[in-house]
Structure 1
Amino acid sequence: MPDFAPLRVRGGGCRHWLRRAVRRRRRAVVVGLAVSAAALAVATPRPTERADAHTEAAQDAGPKHRRAVPRAEMVSAPVRIADAETVRLLRRGDRVDVIASANSPSGGRSSRAEVVAAGVRVTDVPKSGETSADGGALVVLSVPRATAAQLAGAGATSRLAVTLC
């Protein structure tokens, strides 16, 4: 029998080719996603551009369409709530209604009450033990500027209470 050179079977060749193809495909997908993200970032208008475009479109459309209403500027409004025990129930982020009850001239209780601010967010509450001499507690609320003025006026003439929403 003649001498034959040893046979070397490359069994991993197919697997190697398959791995390389998968890596190339992954790279292609990653590059495609990166290009798509860059295109979206460039094509998306800035928030001010969107607002300007919306306002211009509303002006061009005529009187049939409403104009864009500017968002109310939110401010922090400190409010003295008459019952400190109620304030202890509040946490940051809670939504509350602020109710004003008018003081009667005779010093007795009045049955008249009105909601001054509805669904406003609590941004700060006092730590335990921080109450005033009259038993009230100061709460900070995030409200529109106009509502802050109403709260200040109501706080000067009425006792304020809160209800959780």
Structure 2
Amino acid sequence: MTVEEIQLTEMDDESIRAFLTNRKMGVLGLPTDDIPYLLPMSFGYDDESTLYFTFVGGPDSRKRGLIEGTDRARFLAYAAESPFSWESVLLSGTVEAVPDEEWEDILPVVEAAWRPDVIEAAMETEDVTVYRFAVDAWTGYKHTGLPPGFDVDEPT
């Protein structure tokens, strides 16, 4: 199979929004002096153009230091059901800590994020910071092709 034969479809804005609404995990890429620092992250999505991440832990964590040291990041959300059915969305945007006084306004979005039990438990005793990822560019692709040799136009 050649690249030209791959049935790849670029997602429009509506499809990207729908995809993000149904995803709860992705990979946050933060800049470093060397190579990007990649973190699996759960997220809340406001159905428009903002993701919210909850960081748990003290001020000395590497991820907290990196996110505080930048205002730009990338985020990748994806789903791979099979080699012939997958979707991915790559987002670029700005990141900033959400002030405590704004938390009540975004609480439903933040609470909708999936989190492992260990993170939920740690939130009760550790420092929690919520970060806003304001999307300024996104692109998405999906592949919904058929396996090689499977042609729906051929008679059975």
TM range (shorter): under 0.3
* Larger proportion of helix: 1
* Larger proportion of strand: 2
